[in-house]
Amino acid sequence: MDFTITEKMQVILEMINEFVDKELIPLEPAFLTQSAAEMMPVIKEKQKKVKQMELWGPCYPKELGGAGLNLMEHALVSEALGRSPLGHFVFWCQAPDVGNIELLEMFGNKEQKETWLHPLVAGDIRSCFSMTEVELAGSNPLMMDTTAVKDGDDYVINGQKWYTTSADGAEFAIVMAKTNPEAHPYLQASMIIVPCDTPGFNLVRNIPVMGHAGDGYFSHAEILYQNCRVPQKNLIGEEGQGFVLAQERLGPGRIHHCMRWIGICNRAFDLMCARAQERVISPDGRTLATRQIIQSWIAECAAEIQAARLMVLHAAWRIHNEGAKAARKDISLIKFKVANVMQMVLDNALQVHGGLGMTDDTILAFYFRHERAARIYDGADEVHKVSVAKQILKDRQIR
């Protein structure tokens, strides 16, 4: 396998790294103390600069207004942007919008593209994805009980969702609901576009996550759909295709997430090494970095980050060359492996910082709080492990 980074990508990555260092990392103290609403004017300013750099929406096709990078190229971009919690949002390739854009691009009809996709890619509006329910196990979405019942030309939606990330201030939600509860379990659900100002779309609250409810893009909402009526033309793809579309939406998304997590590892690792080298722990001037136990953490983190990074790039390469279906096992492997490596690296980095690590004077505590969720969303660790093991055992049986 060739690991060379093309000249084009070297230039782009240099531009992004410089932007993250000079424009985004300095915003972090404000980001950690202010609301998203308070941060929006300066974020918009930075987004304007990204557009001028022609790096807006790095992974969307040029025809749509993006920078047209392929999955392998975007993986490297996602790593660079992950070094700041603002990176993906400022460059407009943030979840859940990125998944919704890919979905609408692949399966949206002409009218849906004009109404929702184009303004979304342009950054004029935001969106959210509403699948997980309060009362039923999200790990097995076949159990969902939100319904969309036909009535005249409309669907009437009823159900209680939560963890609808970024619903606060979003223009529309893509809602998973059962349109035919009598069909085969995998054919019961559909995806439907619901404008967030539709009567019956009730944002109950932004859920406090690790002690912080957040607002705007940086929040996760509970939503009660109560006789929420939308036209049937808001159906994406065909009725009963919900689970198929959900799979399509998640494949490349896991590469984006995993490379973002590698970026977080890189940032935490840099902070850990810098702190170890500067923190004097004895009167003779010796630093933490002189202690073997700290050296061992540094070496182990370096090895884990590199192994995880190569696993993700390999999975991206397989998706790029053989398609998401062929790469199913690789995608599950990276999902739980990288989430755990990130948690271990953040934990070590925080430990090296001692009491300082627990404060918001560095970005580590923010990452530590918010990225714990990586082991839960987009499929909990255990779900992916079971899936990997089943595939391995099945392959061995066939042989």
132 binds ligand FAD (CB under 6 A): yes
Q: Of the two residues 116 and 297, which places its CB atom closer to ligand FAD in the complex? A: 116
Query: Which is closer to ligand FAD, CB of 104 or CB of 301?
Result: 104
Say whether residue 386 binds ligand FAD (CB under 6 A): yes
Answer yes or no whether residue 234 interacts with ligand FAD by CB under 6 A.
no
- Contacting residue, 382, 389, 394, 395, with ligand FAD by CB under 6 A: 382
Would you state the structure tokens that stand for residue 150, as one six-digit string?
A: 């036909």
* Residue 184 token pair: 């085969």
Is the separation of the CB atoms in 227 and 158 below 8 Å? yes
Please state at what angle helix 292-322 crosses helix 328-352, rounded to 10 degrees: 160
- For ligand FAD, the closer of residues 137 and 326 by Cβ is 137
What are 177's strand-pairing partners?
Answer: 190
The correct pick among 46, 195, 369, 377 for binding ligand FAD (CB under 6 A) is: 377
Tokens, residue 322: 């053989």
Separation of alpha carbons 355 and 204, rounded Å? 36
Q: How far is the CB of 167 from ligand FAD (least distance, A)?
A: 8
Least separation in angstroms between CB 298 and ligand FAD: 29
Query: Considering the complex, what minimum distance in angstroms separates the CB of residue 98 from ligand FAD?
Result: 12
Residue 96 or 108: the one with the smaller Cβ distance to ligand FAD is 96
Binding string, 82-111, against ligand FAD, x = CB under 6 A?
A: --------------x---------------
HEC profile for 198-217?
Answer: CCCEEEEEECCECCECEECC
Q: How far is the CB of 179 from ligand FAD (least distance, A)?
A: 17
d(CA 46, CA 92): 11
- The residue from 74, 83, 178, 220 that contacts ligand FAD (CB under 6 A) is 220
36 or 276: whose CB is closer to ligand FAD? 36
Pattern of binders to ligand FAD over 133-152, x per CB under 6 A? ----xxx-------------
To ligand FAD, the closest distance from the beta carbon of 295 in angstroms equals: 34
Nearest residue (CB) to ligand FAD, 258 versus 272: 258
- Contacts of residue 369, Cβ cutoff 8 Å, sequence gap at least 6: 210, 211, 212
Which parts of 192-211 interact with ligand FAD (CB under 6 A)? 209
Structure tokens at 23: 């424009």
When asked if residue 165 is in the footprint of ligand FAD (CB under 6 A), the reply is yes
d(CA 188, CA 191): 11
C-alpha torsion angle, residues 263, 388, 343, 27 (rounded to 10): 30
Q: Which of 326, 305, 315, 318 is nearest to 395 (CA)?
A: 326
Least distance (Å) between residue 264 CB and ligand FAD: 14
**Closer residue to ligand FAD (CB): 131 or 339:** 131
Alpha helices (runs of H) in the chain, residue ranges in sequence order = 7-19, 28-33, 36-52, 71-81, 87-90, 97-107, 110-112, 118-122, 242-278, 292-322, 328-352, 355-358, 364-370, 381-398
Site of interaction with ligand FAD (CB under 6 A): 96, 129-132, 137-139, 163-165, 209, 220, 373, 376-377, 380, 382-383, 386
